[in-house]
Structure formats: structure tokens, C-alpha cells
Amino acid sequence: MAKCTHGEAPKGAGFCPKCGEMINLAGVLYPRVPERRWPQPRSECKLADCGPTGRMVENKYAEQQHSWPLYEQSGHAGSCVLIAESGNERRVCLVRQWRPVDIDCVELPAGNIGVKSPQEMIEKLMAELREEVGEVEIASAFTAPGFSHDVGREIAAGGGPKCFFPFVIHIKAEVPPKTHNGEGDEKTHSQWYTYREVQEMIREEKVSDMVTIFFLVCAGIVDVEDLGWRRITHLII
């Protein structure tokens, strides 16, 4: 069988609906963070209920007076704005799960995708989606360079700042997708909400994760007005 030529190659990364492959990832999927300094741990301790993905490490750069504790994770993270269109209605997927601060958080599907080749990171992202959202059929996908995340406080395993890679993925859905319970985790489940429901959840402070809100704004699902911001210039003297 002849190898798919993907039609006209897109600028940057793209998704080929003909063969279902993500293509040209290396030109887009890279960390947009400050130059790495590769700190080495001086000591480490295990975080309660953190699981195998992170640890606290104490580091000290050559130019520093004092060492700083950093939270080290297993790699970069990917967050997905998953959009399903059924008829004239569009829905976006959000995941409710427990976080170590002992609260239930509502956020975008996300997960650690490592510090590997672009193709390996995409494969890890797809695995995270299957775990949190279930099987989905992609219609189109977009991505961008990774955004730095807590530079100086949170690092990827092996040193260097961690970053979030944003993805906007449209899926094929003749009817609105159903709630999905995470594999082996009663506290994790995903649900598909209308844009209006998401906007209301943000106004009611049921969604407060900054990464989630930022990427929802970038994807055009949420406007600044939906965040409850108020003009305060009259307070400036």
C-alpha cells in the first residue's frame, strides 16, 4: 500500500484526516521556555499522595546564594481543548478529578507527556485522552509551542522548566458524547458541556484552574467578560 502523502503539507503541525496521522510535529512541538540550566537535585523528599509523577527536590544554581525547593515532575504536560459538534450544538470536555490539595478540580483533559520526541509525546497524549475521556475520533487538531509553567518553581525530570503544550482537537460526534469514568479511578470522570455551561461555571467559580481558563480563552470558548473581570480605573489616583 502506498504511503499517504497527506495532501498539501500544512505549515507547522497538522492532522491528516485521510490516514489519521499527526504530521510535521517537530516544527511546532517544542518548549517555549527560558534557556535550561539543568539543576541537579541536592536532596529530595516524597510528596504525600503524589504518586510516581513528582517529587520535591532542593537545587542550587552556581549564581544563587540559597538553595530552592522545586517540584519535579516526569516531564512536560499537554492540555486538550476537546470540541465536539453534533448538529448545531458544540460542546467542550472538562474533567473532574481530585488533586493533592484535597479538593475536586474541574479542568481540561491533561497529563504528563514526557520529554521525548514529538511523535512519542503525541502518543502519550492520546493515551492520556483514552484514560480520561474514552475513545474519540479526531476530525482536526491544532497545537502550538509549549508555554512555560511556574519557571523557577516547577521543573521537568532531569532539569529544566516544565511547559504545557496546548492542543485544540475537534472530534467527530453525531450525538453529544457521554460522561466517561477514568479507568480504575472513581474520583475522575469527564463530561461534555455546552459553551454557555462552561461560561456559567467560570462565573460561578466552579472552574478556577488558570491553565484551563487560559486555554479556553485562546480557543475562543471563553471571553474576558465571562471571567467576571471589572474595570477599576476609577480606583487609580
Q: What is the mean pLDDT of residues 163-186?
A: 80
Q: How far apart are CA 193 and CA 199, in angstroms?
A: 10
Given a cut of 60, whether residue 115 has pLDDT beyond it is: yes
pLDDT score at 111: 87
Task: Convert the pLDDT of each residue in 60-70 to its tens digit.
Answer: 666 667 666 66
Place of cell 484526516: 17
Mean pLDDT of 39-44: 60
pLDDT at 92: 95
Fold designation for 15-59+66-228: Nucleoside Triphosphate Pyrophosphohydrolase (3.90.79)
Predicted confidence at residue 201, as pLDDT, reads: 93
- Mean pLDDT (the chain) is 78
Distance CA 161, CA 62 (A): 17
pLDDT tens sequence across 195-223: 999 999 998 989 988 889 999 999 999 99
Residue 189 confidence class, pLDDT cut points 50, 70, 90: confident
Q: What is the mean pLDDT of residues 88-112?
A: 83
Give which of 227, 237, 216, 229 is closest to 82, Cα–Cα. Answer: 216
d(CA 24, CA 14): 7
Domain ranges of the chain: 15-59+66-228
Q: Looking at the DSSP assignment, which residues form a beta bridge with residue 23? A: 14
Query: What pLDDT score was predicted for residue 179?
Result: 80
